[in-house]
Amino acid sequence: MTEFFPEVGVIPFVGSTSKDELVFRRYDRDKVVEGRPMHEHLRFACAYWHTMRNPLADPFGVGTALMPWDDGSDSVENARTRVRAFFEFMEKCSLDHYCFHDRDVAPEGADIAESERNLDSVVEELAAQQDRTGKKLLWGTACLFIHPRYMHGAATSCLLDVYAHAGAQVRKAMDVTHQLGGSGYVFWGGREGYTTLLNTDMKRELDHLARFLHMAVEYKHKIGFKGDFFIEPKPKEPTTHQYDSDAAACLNFLREHDLIDHFKLNIETNHAELAGNTMRHELQVASAAGALGSIDANMGNANLGWDTDCFPGNLYLATEIMLEVLAMGGFTTGGLNFDAKRRRESFEPVDLFHAHILGMDTFAAGLEAASAIREDGSFEDFITERYASWDSDLGRRIEAGEVTLDDLHAHASDIGEPGIPSGRQERLEAIMNRFIIG
Ligand code: XUL
Ligand code: CO
């Protein structure tokens, strides 16, 4: 069997005292944390598009990525070879899941029939590799943003015929996700937004998008797909404004259009940052609605205002994310998908290993730090104490909806000026540091 990454073996766990590279220092996949092995908490997934298809170009320069396994052609045979390289990479990196867009894995044909034949052929290879390795599909999706036909949007296009093409593509992408046993299906509305309102009927576009998602729900039931549907918020890029701009906007849209019971959210760190929110904010908004489904684990670069999709090497961020994941009782169908790319300068195949090890070790350490924070209980105690006044009889009656403004007036008139405690932010930040820097 051809070896695609002959220079790297299976990445071993060696522990944090080692100075070796191309090893896991923190990701010990079977180590039990809060009653479950690390790999079950983290459910790492490898993104096909960045790992196999991203040439590492930028707006000013051509791609730099070396991909010796790829003959550079758009043939189905080359597409099938890439799948074998991808699974070897996942095996060597102990990545248990993967995610893909239809057009990442198989070339678009001259018409829908040819595109579907191409996809079926590659899906055959994906299924064979899943069987061989035990790797699983976390989620699939349709790429509705690269082809020029989608320049005005897909499910929000001004053109009905384009909308129909998008529907055909999603239908097939759902079929193959189901066939491969995917546990989720993602809708990321890359071009579902506008570049200018001068040419846009926003209300009509939003109604069309809702109809489209209802059709997807109907089709899901028709084919018996039991996985979760996820919407992935992002505020902009490539459009000036994307309708699914952040978690709150998505939830509002889903509620308004009677879709809330059928979708959860796939929250991406860099998208949260572009929306001007922290990742933790987005996760809490989703979680409070019972809609935190999955996470695209990457991060931005504070000096650059765009979607840099950096590999997540920030332990604070990973700890905050894992606090939210543990608080909701862990992932069910979702996981941590490395929707991240190497820097353009990290163009060698070995950099794919360094990048994923960085992300995996950071999240393993974040999981352990989050678990230690929960065990310690300082934050929980502080928050419980901070809201203690609400545990009074009046507090409970307010929360139960039994109190009027007249009652509040009577209470306030009785007690005089309330004593106000400190928020202690800096003290709490120092406590957080204890778990991160020791
Ligand atoms: C783009 C992005 C997508 C989605 C899937 O910013 O995050 O790759 O994750 O379409
Ligand atoms: Co993403």
Output the 3-class SS for the chain: CCCCCCCCCCCCECCCCCCCCCCECCCCCCCEECCEEHHHHHCEEEEHHHHHHCCCCECCECCCCCCCCCCCCCCHHHHHHHHHHHHHHHHHHCCCEEEEEHHHHCCCCCCHHHHHHHHHHHHHHHHHHHHHHCCEEEEEECCCCCCHHHCCCCCCCCCHHHHHHHHHHHHHHHHHHHHCCCCEEEECCCCCEECCHHHCCHHHHHHHHHHHHHHHHHHHHHHCCCCEEEECCCCCCCCCEECCCCHHHHHHHHHHCCCHHHEEEEEEHHHHHHCCCCHHHHHHHHHHCCCEEEEECCECECCECCCCCECCCCHHHHHHHHHHHHHCCCCCCCCEEECCCCCCCCCCHHHHHHHHHHHHHHHHHHHHHHHHHHHHCHHHHHHHHHCHHHHCHHHHHHHCCCCCHHHHHHHHHHHCCCCCCCCCHHHHHHHHHHHHHC
pLDDT, mean of residues 199-221: 98
The pLDDT, as a whole number, for residue 389 is 98
Say what percent of the chain tops pLDDT 90: 98
Residue 14: pLDDT over 90:
yes
pLDDT, mean of residues 421-432: 98
Condensed to tens digits (0 to 9), the pLDDT of residues 35-78 reads: 999 999 999 999 999 999 999 999 999 999 999 999 999 999 99
Q: Report the C-alpha dihedral over residues 346, 55, 232, 369, rounded to 10 degrees.
A: -20
The pLDDT, as a whole number, for residue 88 is 98
pLDDT, mean of residues 314-330: 98
102, 104, 244, 339: the active-site residue = 104
Superfamily assignment of 32-376 in CATH? Divalent-metal-dependent TIM barrel enzymes (3.20.20.150)
| Residue 103 banded pLDDT, cuts 50, 70, 90 | very high
Q: How many residues in total does the chain contain?
A: 438
Whether this model's pTM surpasses 0.95:
yes
Ligand 1 atom with the shortest distance to the CA of 101: 10
Say what percent of the chain tops pLDDT 70: 100
The pLDDT, as a whole number, for residue 94 is 98
Ligand 1 atom with the shortest distance to the CA of 307: 6
Ligand 1 atom with the shortest distance to the CA of 49: 8
The pLDDT, as a whole number, for residue 101 is 98
- Contact, 244 vs 232, CB < 8 A? yes
6 Cα–ligand 2 center, Å: 30
Ligand 1 atom with the shortest distance to the CA of 309: 6
The pLDDT, as a whole number, for residue 60 is 96
Q: Is the dihedral of CA 124, 144, 207, 238 positive or negative?
A: positive
pLDDT, mean of residues 272-300: 98
238 Cα–ligand 2 center, Å: 13
Tokens of 344: 């353009």
Residue whose CB lies within 8 A of the most ligand 1 atoms, among 50, 98, 141, 230, for a mutation test: 141
- Contact, 5 vs 349, CB < 8 A? yes
Compute the mean pLDDT over every residue in the chain, rounded to the nearest whole number: 98
Atom 8 of ligand 1, residue of closest alpha carbon = 339
Residue 1: pLDDT over 90:
no
Q: Which residues line ligand 1 (CB under 6 A)?
A: 101, 141, 186, 188, 232, 234, 268, 296, 307, 339
39, 41, 101, 208: the active-site residue = 101
Condensed to tens digits (0 to 9), the pLDDT of residues 326-357 reads: 999 999 999 999 999 999 999 999 999 999 99
Q: Is the dihedral of CA 152, 157, 158, 162 positive or negative?
A: positive
56 Cα–ligand 2 center, Å: 17
Atom 6 of ligand 1, residue of closest alpha carbon = 307
Atom 7 of ligand 1, residue of closest alpha carbon = 339
Reply yes or no on whether 41 is catalytic.
no
- Contact, 379 vs 428, CB < 8 A? yes
Residue 438: pLDDT over 90:
no
Tokens of 331: 């992932």
Rounded to whole angstroms, the Cα distance separating 299 from 336 reads 13
Domain with CATH 3.20.20.150 in the chain: 32-376
Rounded to whole angstroms, the Cα distance separating 41 from 26 reads 14
Reply yes or no on whether 261 is catalytic.
no
| Residue 305 banded pLDDT, cuts 50, 70, 90 | confident
